[in-house]
């Protein structure tokens, strides 16, 4: 089955610790995205990558870092510099080249709680 996997589903972190959220896709999509969602609110873009070894900051990149060494993988690190990291994190992927709407396909998300 093609899709996007995120792990872990729930993550607890102590203040001052870095933590890495995993995102893997087997849809052969070029682009991948990380979003943050706070309770009752919409999605805010953290980082996105349209091609391997390249990525761009989104609207709220401060305190986060990413890498895109493989087409299938786009891990997100939440660093200790992120002041309020408790949130729901969603990873997505899409085509960006060729015809079509380039709709995004999402993983199940990771709920991060800072203790």
Partner 1 sequence: AQKITQTQPGMFVQEKEAVTLDCTYDTSDQSYGLFWYKQPSSGEMIFLIYQGSYDEQNATEGRYSLNFQKARKSANLVISASQLGDSAMYFCAMSPLINTNAGKSTFGDGTTLTVKP
Binding site for partner 1 (CB under 8 A): 30-31, 33, 41-43, 45, 48, 50, 88, 90, 92, 94-97, 101-109, 111
Contact between 45 and 35 (Cβ < 8 Å):
yes
C-alpha separations of 45 from 29, 89, 98 in Å: 18, 10, 23
Q: How far apart (Å, rounded) are the C-alpha atoms in residues 80 and 82?
A: 5
Q: Give the shortest CB-80-to-partner 1 separation in angstroms.
A: 25
Beta carbon nearer to partner 1, 16 or 42 = 42
Beta carbon nearer to partner 1, 1 or 103 = 103
Beta carbon nearer to partner 1, 79 or 106 = 106
Q: Give the shortest CB-6-to-partner 1 separation in angstroms.
A: 10
Q: How far apart (Å, rounded) are the C-alpha atoms in residues 22 and 100?
A: 28
């Amino acid at each position: 089955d093609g899709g996007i996997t995120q792990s872990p589903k729930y993550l607890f972190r102590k203040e001052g610790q870095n933590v890495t959220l995993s995102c893997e896709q087997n849809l052969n999509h070029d682009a991948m995205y990380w979003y943050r969602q706070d309770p009752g609110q919409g999605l805010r873009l953290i980082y996105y990558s349209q091609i391997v070894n390249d990525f761009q900051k989104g609207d709220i990149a401060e305190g986060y870092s990413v890498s895109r060494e493989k087409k299938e993988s786009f891990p997100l690190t939440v660093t200790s510099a992120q002041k309020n990291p408790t949130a729901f994190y969603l990873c997505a992927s899409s085509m960006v080249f060729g015809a079509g709407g380039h709709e995004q396909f999402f993983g199940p998300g990771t709920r991060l709680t800072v203790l």
